[in-house]
Amino acid sequence: MGRRKLAAGNWKMNGAKAALAEIEALEAAFPAPDCDVLICPPATLVSAMAAIGSTVKVGGQDCHANASGAHTGDISAEILADAGATAVLVGHSERRADHGESDADVNAKAEAAWRAGLIAVICVGETESERTEGKALEIVGGQLAGSVPAGATGANSVIAYEPVWAIGTGLVPTLEDIAEMHDFMRAELAKSHPDAAEDFRLLYGGSVKPSNAAEIFAVSNVDGGLVGGASLKAADFGGIIKAASEG
Protein backbone atom coordinates (compact mmCIF):
# COMPACT_ATOMS: atom_id res chain seq x y z
CA MET A 1 0.00 0.00 0.00
CA GLY A 2 1.25 3.50 -0.81
CA ARG A 3 2.30 5.90 1.88
CA ARG A 4 -0.38 8.47 2.75
CA LYS A 5 0.99 11.99 2.56
CA LEU A 6 1.29 14.12 5.68
CA ALA A 7 0.97 17.90 5.86
CA ALA A 8 2.53 18.87 9.19
CA GLY A 9 2.72 22.39 10.63
CA ASN A 10 5.08 23.68 13.30
CA TRP A 11 3.85 26.87 14.90
CA LYS A 12 7.03 27.25 16.98
CA MET A 13 6.65 30.04 19.61
CA ASN A 14 3.63 31.56 17.84
CA GLY A 15 -0.03 31.27 18.63
CA ALA A 16 -2.31 32.71 21.31
CA LYS A 17 -5.88 31.48 21.81
CA ALA A 18 -7.19 33.60 18.93
CA ALA A 19 -5.13 31.48 16.53
CA LEU A 20 -7.50 28.56 17.13
CA ALA A 21 -9.75 30.26 14.56
CA GLU A 22 -7.24 29.10 11.92
CA ILE A 23 -7.90 25.47 12.91
CA GLU A 24 -11.66 26.03 12.79
CA ALA A 25 -11.21 27.39 9.25
CA LEU A 26 -9.14 24.36 8.22
CA GLU A 27 -11.71 21.96 9.68
CA ALA A 28 -14.47 23.71 7.71
CA ALA A 29 -12.47 23.70 4.46
CA PHE A 30 -11.15 20.12 4.72
CA PRO A 31 -13.70 17.80 6.32
CA ALA A 32 -12.01 14.73 4.79
CA PRO A 33 -8.74 15.49 2.97
CA ASP A 34 -6.80 12.81 1.09
CA CYS A 35 -3.80 13.27 3.38
CA ASP A 36 -3.05 13.37 7.10
CA VAL A 37 -2.87 16.80 8.73
CA LEU A 38 -0.90 17.62 11.88
CA ILE A 39 -0.30 20.95 13.62
CA CYS A 40 2.21 21.36 16.44
CA PRO A 41 1.20 24.50 18.38
CA PRO A 42 2.70 25.86 21.59
CA ALA A 43 1.91 23.42 24.43
CA THR A 44 -0.63 25.86 25.87
CA LEU A 45 -2.92 25.28 22.86
CA VAL A 46 -2.65 21.49 22.53
CA SER A 47 -5.73 20.69 24.58
CA ALA A 48 -8.02 23.31 23.01
CA MET A 49 -6.81 22.52 19.49
CA ALA A 50 -7.39 18.79 19.98
CA ALA A 51 -11.00 19.49 20.97
CA ILE A 52 -11.86 21.35 17.75
CA GLY A 53 -12.30 18.70 15.09
CA SER A 54 -11.16 15.52 13.44
CA THR A 55 -9.10 16.59 10.40
CA VAL A 56 -6.30 18.38 12.22
CA LYS A 57 -4.35 16.10 14.54
CA VAL A 58 -2.32 17.89 17.20
CA GLY A 59 1.31 17.43 18.16
CA GLY A 60 3.85 18.75 20.62
CA GLN A 61 7.04 20.51 19.50
CA ASP A 62 9.35 18.64 21.87
CA CYS A 63 9.17 16.26 24.82
CA HIS A 64 11.42 15.27 27.71
CA ALA A 65 12.75 11.72 27.72
CA ASN A 66 11.25 11.09 31.19
CA ALA A 67 7.56 10.61 31.91
CA SER A 68 7.50 13.00 34.88
CA GLY A 69 9.74 14.56 37.49
CA ALA A 70 11.76 17.59 38.51
CA HIS A 71 12.36 19.17 35.09
CA THR A 72 11.11 22.74 35.30
CA GLY A 73 9.79 24.09 32.02
CA ASP A 74 9.87 20.74 30.22
CA ILE A 75 6.92 18.67 29.10
CA SER A 76 6.65 14.90 28.85
CA ALA A 77 5.19 12.83 26.05
CA GLU A 78 2.67 11.45 28.56
CA ILE A 79 1.44 14.96 29.43
CA LEU A 80 1.13 15.82 25.72
CA ALA A 81 -0.83 12.63 25.10
CA ASP A 82 -3.09 13.40 28.05
CA ALA A 83 -3.80 16.82 26.51
CA GLY A 84 -4.86 15.23 23.23
CA ALA A 85 -1.65 15.14 21.19
CA THR A 86 -1.06 12.22 18.84
CA ALA A 87 2.48 13.11 17.79
CA VAL A 88 5.52 15.13 18.84
CA LEU A 89 8.45 16.69 16.98
CA VAL A 90 11.84 15.56 18.26
CA GLY A 91 15.22 16.90 17.21
CA HIS A 92 14.02 20.00 15.36
CA SER A 93 17.12 21.96 14.37
CA GLU A 94 16.07 24.85 16.61
CA ARG A 95 16.07 22.43 19.59
CA ARG A 96 19.40 20.97 18.49
CA ALA A 97 20.92 24.48 18.13
CA ASP A 98 19.22 26.40 20.97
CA HIS A 99 19.24 23.60 23.54
CA GLY A 100 22.29 21.59 22.51
CA GLU A 101 20.28 18.44 21.85
CA SER A 102 22.40 15.55 20.59
CA ASP A 103 21.40 12.60 18.44
CA ALA A 104 21.34 10.50 21.63
CA ASP A 105 18.92 12.97 23.25
CA VAL A 106 16.68 12.87 20.17
CA ASN A 107 16.80 9.07 20.13
CA ALA A 108 15.67 8.95 23.78
CA LYS A 109 12.88 11.45 23.09
CA ALA A 110 11.60 9.35 20.18
CA GLU A 111 11.40 6.33 22.47
CA ALA A 112 9.61 8.49 25.07
CA ALA A 113 7.08 9.49 22.42
CA TRP A 114 6.30 5.83 21.65
CA ARG A 115 6.07 5.00 25.35
CA ALA A 116 3.21 7.52 25.55
CA GLY A 117 1.59 6.28 22.34
CA LEU A 118 2.68 9.29 20.27
CA ILE A 119 4.15 9.29 16.76
CA ALA A 120 7.70 10.70 16.83
CA VAL A 121 8.45 13.14 14.02
CA ILE A 122 12.24 12.84 14.01
CA CYS A 123 13.96 15.85 12.39
CA VAL A 124 17.35 15.84 10.66
CA GLY A 125 19.16 18.23 8.33
CA GLU A 126 22.51 19.78 7.47
CA THR A 127 23.68 23.37 7.98
CA GLU A 128 24.63 25.67 5.14
CA SER A 129 28.36 25.17 5.65
CA GLU A 130 27.95 21.40 5.78
CA ARG A 131 26.16 21.51 2.41
CA THR A 132 28.72 23.87 0.90
CA GLU A 133 31.48 21.53 2.00
CA GLY A 134 29.71 18.63 0.28
CA LYS A 135 28.93 16.88 3.56
CA ALA A 136 25.10 16.97 3.50
CA LEU A 137 24.58 13.24 2.92
CA GLU A 138 27.22 12.27 5.48
CA ILE A 139 25.71 14.58 8.13
CA VAL A 140 22.15 13.42 7.58
CA GLY A 141 23.27 9.78 7.45
CA GLY A 142 24.94 10.23 10.83
CA GLN A 143 21.87 11.94 12.30
CA LEU A 144 19.64 9.12 11.09
CA ALA A 145 21.97 6.52 12.58
CA GLY A 146 22.06 8.33 15.93
CA SER A 147 18.51 9.70 16.20
CA VAL A 148 16.25 6.94 14.86
CA PRO A 149 15.90 4.17 17.46
CA ALA A 150 16.03 0.52 16.45
CA GLY A 151 12.32 0.11 17.20
CA ALA A 152 11.18 2.73 14.70
CA THR A 153 8.42 1.72 12.29
CA GLY A 154 6.30 3.53 9.74
CA ALA A 155 3.47 3.52 12.28
CA ASN A 156 5.35 5.04 15.22
CA SER A 157 7.74 7.40 13.41
CA VAL A 158 7.97 9.97 10.63
CA ILE A 159 11.32 11.34 9.46
CA ALA A 160 11.57 15.02 8.49
CA TYR A 161 14.49 16.25 6.39
CA GLU A 162 14.92 19.95 7.05
CA PRO A 163 18.07 21.60 5.73
CA VAL A 164 18.81 24.21 8.41
CA TRP A 165 19.67 26.85 5.81
CA ALA A 166 16.22 26.51 4.22
CA ILE A 167 14.22 27.00 7.43
CA GLY A 168 12.53 30.40 7.52
CA THR A 169 14.83 31.81 4.84
CA GLY A 170 12.82 31.43 1.63
CA LEU A 171 15.66 29.30 0.26
CA VAL A 172 14.76 25.84 -1.01
CA PRO A 173 17.11 23.15 -2.36
CA THR A 174 16.68 22.20 -5.99
CA LEU A 175 14.20 19.41 -6.63
CA GLU A 176 17.19 17.27 -7.70
CA ASP A 177 18.90 17.90 -4.35
CA ILE A 178 15.70 17.05 -2.45
CA ALA A 179 15.35 13.83 -4.47
CA GLU A 180 18.98 12.90 -3.86
CA MET A 181 18.59 13.36 -0.10
CA HIS A 182 15.26 11.58 0.20
CA ASP A 183 16.43 8.63 -1.93
CA PHE A 184 19.57 8.50 0.24
CA MET A 185 17.53 8.53 3.46
CA ARG A 186 15.30 5.70 2.20
CA ALA A 187 18.41 3.68 1.30
CA GLU A 188 20.02 4.34 4.70
CA LEU A 189 16.82 3.31 6.48
CA ALA A 190 16.69 0.15 4.36
CA LYS A 191 20.05 -0.79 5.89
CA SER A 192 19.20 0.13 9.50
CA HIS A 193 15.48 -0.80 9.48
CA PRO A 194 15.06 -3.31 6.64
CA ASP A 195 11.53 -4.36 7.60
CA ALA A 196 10.18 -0.81 8.03
CA ALA A 197 12.11 1.31 5.55
CA GLU A 198 9.44 1.39 2.84
CA ASP A 199 6.77 2.39 5.36
CA PHE A 200 8.42 5.50 6.83
CA ARG A 201 6.97 8.79 5.67
CA LEU A 202 9.84 11.13 4.76
CA LEU A 203 8.82 14.79 5.00
CA TYR A 204 10.64 17.70 3.42
CA GLY A 205 10.78 20.91 5.49
CA GLY A 206 12.25 24.34 4.76
CA SER A 207 10.35 27.27 3.22
CA VAL A 208 7.48 25.13 1.89
CA LYS A 209 4.68 27.39 0.65
CA PRO A 210 1.43 26.91 -1.26
CA SER A 211 3.31 27.97 -4.42
CA ASN A 212 6.03 25.28 -4.23
CA ALA A 213 4.35 22.48 -2.25
CA ALA A 214 2.97 20.53 -5.22
CA GLU A 215 6.31 20.29 -7.02
CA ILE A 216 8.15 19.33 -3.83
CA PHE A 217 5.56 16.69 -2.86
CA ALA A 218 5.91 15.15 -6.34
CA VAL A 219 9.62 14.46 -5.76
CA SER A 220 10.77 10.87 -5.31
CA ASN A 221 10.42 9.66 -1.70
CA VAL A 222 8.85 12.90 -0.46
CA ASP A 223 5.76 11.94 1.53
CA GLY A 224 4.65 15.39 2.60
CA GLY A 225 6.02 18.45 4.34
CA LEU A 226 6.90 19.94 7.70
CA VAL A 227 5.95 23.59 7.45
CA GLY A 228 6.76 26.52 9.73
CA GLY A 229 5.70 30.01 8.64
CA ALA A 230 3.14 28.89 6.07
CA SER A 231 1.30 26.76 8.64
CA LEU A 232 0.20 29.74 10.74
CA LYS A 233 -2.65 30.89 8.48
CA ALA A 234 -5.41 28.60 7.23
CA ALA A 235 -5.31 30.27 3.83
CA ASP A 236 -1.65 29.29 3.34
CA PHE A 237 -1.70 25.90 5.01
CA GLY A 238 -4.88 25.05 3.13
CA GLY A 239 -2.92 25.32 -0.12
CA ILE A 240 -0.35 22.92 1.28
CA ILE A 241 -3.02 20.44 2.43
CA LYS A 242 -4.51 20.62 -1.07
CA ALA A 243 -1.11 19.87 -2.62
CA ALA A 244 -0.58 16.93 -0.26
CA SER A 245 -4.08 15.60 -1.00
CA GLU A 246 -3.50 15.71 -4.73
CA GLY A 247 0.10 14.52 -4.70
Contact set with ligand PEP (CB under 6 A):
10, 162, 167-168, 205-208, 226-230
* Catalytic residue (choose from 94, 101, 130, 162): 162
- Strand-pair partners of 76: 64
Phi, psi of 119 (to 5 degrees): -80, 130
The b/e string for 10-31 (b: 16+ C-beta within 10 A; e otherwise) is: bbbeebeeebbebbeebbeebe
Catalytic-residue membership of 92 = yes
The residue whose Cβ lies closest to ligand PEP is 228
Kindly tell me which of 85 and 226 has the beta carbon lying closer to ligand PEP: 226
- Smallest separation, CB 35 to ligand PEP (Å): 17
* Catalytic residue (choose from 64, 92, 182, 193): 92
Catalytic-residue membership of 162 = yes
| CA contacts within 13 A on the Cβ side of 177 | 17
- Smallest separation, CB 39 to ligand PEP (Å): 12
Kindly tell me which of 33 and 228 has the beta carbon lying closer to ligand PEP: 228
Q: Could you give the CA distance from residue 189 to residue 192 in angstroms, rounded to a whole number?
A: 5
Kindly tell me which of 197 and 219 has the beta carbon lying closer to ligand PEP: 219
Question: Are 46 and 83 in contact, with CB atoms under 8 Å apart?
Answer: yes
- What residues act catalytically? 92, 162
